[in-house]
Amino acid sequence: MHANEQAASRSDSQHSFSVPDSIVSDRHSGHVSIIDVEGPLTAERTARAFRDRVRDLLGEGAKNFVVNLTDVESIDSYGLGALAAAYNWITRVHGEIELFAPQPRVRRMLERLRLDSVFPILDDERQALQALGVPQWSRG
């Protein structure tokens, strides 16, 4: 079973939004919304799906987010813009956003643009959830 599928099976709820070659889905652990992105976070449609999901979750009252980049093999200016927009919206409501497990190519891009000083980039979901105060027992 794929790591994201295992994690999703532990979650209280899950929503999925598909665009060609990419899937943006979410699940929850405690007070944190986990957004899983599979496929490239490129092109306007994929970035829009990500932005729309963050905006919807904020509208539902979510404030704290972790973004799973494990299965994102590439990111472009649309994807970077979507992350920046999410950061602005989330911090405006006094929430937090963290990224975890980017592939080396994506991590290098984030570091080259110094976005690692804006977004905490952690190695795995457990670290990201702990950083946002989710106790281990509430993760399913």
Q: How many CA atoms lie within 13 A of 76 on its CB side?
A: 10
Domain assignment present for residue 99? The answer is: yes
- Give tens-digit pLDDT for 86-102: 999 999 999 999 999 99
- Number of domain units in the chain: 1
Domain assignment present for residue 139? The answer is: no
Domain assignment present for residue 138? The answer is: no
The range of the structural domain enclosing residue 7 comes to: 3-132
CB proximity list for 72: less than 8 A, separation 6 or greater: 37, 38, 39, 40, 41, 79, 102, 103, 106
Domain assignment present for residue 89? The answer is: yes
- Give tens-digit pLDDT for 60-70: 999 999 999 99
- Give tens-digit pLDDT for 18-47: 555 678 999 999 999 999 999 899 887 788
Domain assignment present for residue 73? The answer is: yes
Domain assignment present for residue 137? The answer is: no
Mean pLDDT of the chain: 86
Domain assignment present for residue 21? The answer is: yes
> What CATH number does residue 100 fall under?
3.30.750.24
Domain assignment present for residue 140? The answer is: no
Cross-strand bridge partners of residue 68: 36, 100
